[in-house]
Structure 1
Amino acid sequence: MFTESATVKRINRQCVIWLHKPTNTRYVKVVSNGAETLMQGVSGHRYVTEDELNNAEIWTTA
């Protein structure tokens, strides 16, 4: 059975596209320190807290 390496899992997590619902803007995670995440999108970078990212009324994966 084939299992993904830790590197492949990390890359796959980075490729998830997130939708910021209030602005209908799509972002990808650039880097996270566990408390805050740098998001990159069409309109540039954006810092969000993990609490904001986990709020389904604000963010969802696209």
Structure 2
Amino acid sequence: MKDYDLNDIVEMKKAHPCGTNRWKIIRMGMDIKIECTGCGHIVMLPRREFERKMKKILEKAN
């Protein structure tokens, strides 16, 4: 189910407390690190949890 890649902008099921629901993937491996595009907060999630919480891909990286 890997259809996302580094630097993609994704939408998660729950919005961030800052009000934005756009996250940029900044690191991939066993864990996936995402950065909020609104406030810059960085969150690291295990890959399985990330795949469960991701809603859709908004923008693909070039």
TM-score by length of 1: 0.60
Q: Could you say which structure has the greater relative contact order, defined with CA pairs below 8 angstroms and 6 or more residues apart? A: 2
**Which letter maps to 2:32?**
T
The structure with the greater share of residues assigned to helix is 1
The answer to whether 1:31 aligns with 2:23 is no
Larger Rg: 1
C-alpha deviation, 1:14, in angstroms: 2.3
The C-alpha deviation readout for 1:2-50, integer Å capped at 9, x for no partner, is xxxxxxxxxxx32311111211611111112x21111111231111110
| Percent of aligned pairs sharing the same letter | 11
Indicate conservation of the 8 Å contact 2:12/2:21, yes or no. Answer: yes
Structure 2: 5+ residue stretches without partners: none
CA RMSD of the aligned region, Å?
1.7
TM-score by length of 2: 0.60
Stretches of 4+ aligned residues off by more than 6 angstroms: none
